[in-house]
Amino acid sequence: MAGEQPQRDAATGTVCPECDKQTIRGSDKCHHCGAPVDSGETISLAMWEYGGGLIAAFGFFMTPVITGLPALYCAYKVYDRSPNSAYGIFAVFISTIIFWIVLPTVILP
């Protein structure tokens, strides 16, 4: 029917107020038109992505033992909605582990 609104699932996302299309859950902006969207979540998807990458990168300065758990938690939080970001956080975390294995064995002796 032309006058009916499409079914909206609260678990998959919110509706953009500008273009009336379904957006990704946790996103701050519509992926169709770029308009700002209130996701209803306290921490946005972009903050989990940025924070996870930043925490994982701090493993180069501190040890991955300290930064590993928070970085992997951020990767876990974004995996459902943005798997490539989760893989990126994980890659930086693995790079810090390799760095801390190579540093004392190859570079410093």
* pLDDT of 100 higher than 60: yes
18-67 pLDDT per residue, tens = 787 777 766 667 777 877 777 666 677 888 899 999 999 999 999 899 99
- Residue 95, pLDDT score: 94
Listed by start position, the domains of the chain span 1-41, 45-107
Region 9-23 average pLDDT = 70
Alpha-carbon torsion 7, 9, 10, 16, what sign?
negative
> Mean pLDDT in the chain?
81
Sorted by sequence, the CB contacts under 8 Å of residue 57 that are 6+ apart come out as 92, 96
Question: Where does residue 12 rank: exposed (0-12), middle (13-18), buried (19+ CB within 10 A)?
Answer: exposed
